[in-house]
Protein backbone atom coordinates (compact mmCIF):
# COMPACT_ATOMS: atom_id res chain seq x y z
CA UNK A 1 0.00 0.00 0.00
CA UNK A 2 1.49 3.32 -1.03
CA UNK A 3 1.69 6.43 1.10
CA UNK A 4 -0.84 8.19 -1.13
CA UNK A 5 -3.34 5.37 -0.63
CA UNK A 6 -2.85 5.46 3.13
CA UNK A 7 -3.41 9.22 3.22
CA UNK A 8 -6.51 8.95 1.05
CA UNK A 9 -7.84 6.16 3.27
CA UNK A 10 -7.50 8.45 6.27
CA UNK A 11 -8.67 11.78 4.87
CA UNK A 12 -10.98 10.84 1.95
CA UNK A 13 -12.07 7.21 2.38
CA UNK A 14 -14.70 7.19 -0.43
CA UNK A 15 -12.16 8.56 -2.93
CA UNK A 16 -9.66 5.86 -2.00
CA UNK A 17 -12.30 3.17 -2.48
CA UNK A 18 -13.42 4.72 -5.79
CA UNK A 19 -9.88 4.75 -7.18
CA UNK A 20 -9.46 1.05 -6.35
CA UNK A 21 -12.94 -0.33 -7.16
CA UNK A 22 -14.74 2.27 -9.28
CA UNK A 23 -18.45 2.88 -8.93
CA UNK A 24 -19.82 -0.13 -7.07
CA UNK A 25 -21.69 -1.14 -3.95
CA UNK A 26 -18.38 -0.99 -2.09
CA UNK A 27 -18.19 2.73 -2.88
CA UNK A 28 -21.77 3.28 -1.69
CA UNK A 29 -21.03 1.49 1.58
CA UNK A 30 -17.92 3.61 2.06
CA UNK A 31 -19.85 6.83 1.45
CA UNK A 32 -22.57 5.78 3.88
CA UNK A 33 -20.12 4.81 6.62
CA UNK A 34 -18.13 8.00 6.17
CA UNK A 35 -21.26 10.15 6.34
CA UNK A 36 -22.54 8.44 9.50
CA UNK A 37 -19.33 8.61 11.46
CA UNK A 38 -15.92 9.20 9.90
CA UNK A 39 -13.99 6.39 11.65
CA UNK A 40 -16.01 3.43 10.27
CA UNK A 41 -15.46 4.83 6.78
CA UNK A 42 -11.70 4.89 7.36
CA UNK A 43 -11.69 1.33 8.69
CA UNK A 44 -13.76 0.14 5.73
CA UNK A 45 -11.39 1.87 3.28
CA UNK A 46 -8.36 0.15 4.82
CA UNK A 47 -10.10 -3.23 4.71
CA UNK A 48 -11.18 -3.05 1.07
CA UNK A 49 -7.90 -1.51 -0.14
CA UNK A 50 -5.60 -4.21 1.20
Report how far residue 20's alpha carbon sits from residue 12's, in angstroms, rounded to the nearest whole number. Answer: 13
CA dihedral 10, 49, 40, 22 (to 10 degrees): 100
Q: Is the pTM of this model over 0.85?
A: yes
List pLDDT tens digits, range 2-42: 999 999 999 999 999 999 999 999 999 999 999 999 999 99
Would you say 27 and 48 are in contact if contact means Cβ atoms under 8 Å apart? Answer: no
The whole-number pLDDT of residue 1 equals 78
Say if CB 42 and CB 9 are below 8 A apart. yes
Residues 6+ apart with CB under 8 A from 40: 33, 34
Task: Indicate whether 50 pLDDT > 90.
Answer: no
Amino acid sequence: MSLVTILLNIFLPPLAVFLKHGISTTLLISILLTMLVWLPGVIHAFIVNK
